[in-house]
Amino acid sequence: MLELTREDVAGLLGKVDLVDVVREVFLAHASDRTVLPEESCLRWTNDQGESCRSLNMPGLVEIDGRRTAGTKIINASLGNPDRGLPRAGGIVLLFDITTARLVCSMDAAHISAGRTAAVSVLAAELLWARPARSIGLVGAGALAEAHLDLALRRWQSVREVRLHDQVLERAVRLTERLGDTFRTVAFHVASTAEQAVREADLVIPVTTTTTGYIPADWIAPGTVTVNVSLDDLLPDAFTVADQVIVDDWSLVAADTTRLLGRMHRSGDVLPPPRHRTAGAAGHRAPAVEVAAELCDLISGAATGRRSAEDRIVVNPFGMSLHDVAVAGKLYHEHHEHLTITSTTST
């Protein structure tokens, strides 16, 4: 079994257009060329009283006639940042499509951060009223850096980034690193989350909180909010949104912990149109109607923004299909590199 290290993965990712890969995955998902089982989650409290969990997220996707199967195992402890460790880490395993045997193991950190950022960037491009000029982020960890690095390399329109973190030094360090690379962008460390969010064209919370704090009135008309984290948005941010978009409805429906999943279980969220059945709303009108899945927007089966003033919330739960597809792409890039190197040496 081939093993690719964190450094191997980081080098290979530079050769891949992540936004294009996640777009192709969504198109495959829209045309039933994927298998997306429910994820399995093991949760426990460690000896320090901190919440820990292990996720196993399998998937199979067919792109350009090639099927890739595998799983991501990602473990996290909420106390890790205080230990100087990443909150989460894990591996992606790839399977031989014929024998089902393991063929490759690779570090998941860069893949997970990269595909998460790519989904957010793609969603923003599909739903913004105009190319973003200002971005507000809450959280200054690896996900924030992955989002900003990808977005600022793609979007020449951005002029301002406002970044808040509970540990302000983290936000300062991140803005300093990015400021050295993106010199046309003004980076500001916001002293509060509200200062980061208000008046931003694009809002991206990337924290580990399980307590909501972003109300609807912080979000300006026309804003796209990509709710990457677990529970940063308060319920009214969903209920007043002109559109709520998800990556995959089945993940929302199966979830018991995150806000949108809990709201669905209490009868406050109506599925996107193609997942609705007669009487789905029950005895009362739900507070939130999910407008579409991202694959519907990409395939053209659903319409996105209707007005420049629409407040749009995108709530991606995270699809293992993207991790598996990106890992498959890196695996083949690695083999192509070896083939070229071998041929050149010969």
Q: Are residues 272 and 161 part of one domain?
A: yes
Q: Residue 240 burial by CB count (10 A; 0-12/13-18/19+): exposed, middle or buried?
A: middle
In this predicted structure, what is the pLDDT of residue 336? 78
- Taking only the tens place, the pLDDT of each residue in 151-174 is 999 999 999 999 999 999 999 999
For residue 105, what are the domain limits? 2-111+321-345
Q: How far apart are CA 256 and CA 270, in angstroms?
A: 16
Does residue 119 lie in a domain region?
A: no
Does residue 190 lie in a domain region?
A: yes
- Taking only the tens place, the pLDDT of each residue in 55-93 is 999 999 999 999 999 999 999 998 998 898 888 889 999
From 174, 186, 122, select the one nearest 149 (Cα to Cα). 174
Does residue 122 lie in a domain region?
A: no
Q: How far apart are CA 274 and CA 282, in angstroms?
A: 17
CATH number at residue 24: 3.30.1780.10
- Taking only the tens place, the pLDDT of each residue in 210-241 is 899 999 999 999 999 999 987 999 999 999 99
In this predicted structure, what is the pLDDT of residue 27? 97
CB 251 within 8 A of CB 229: no
Q: Are residues 213 and 64 part of one domain?
A: no
How many distinct structural domains can be found in the chain? 2
Q: How far apart are CA 48 and CA 61, in angstroms?
A: 39
Question: Which residues of the chain register pLDDT less than 50?
Answer: none
Q: How far apart are CA 158 and CA 24, in angstroms?
A: 26
Residue 343 token pair: 């041929």
Q: Are residues 151 and 46 part of one domain?
A: no
Q: Are residues 84 and 143 part of one domain?
A: no
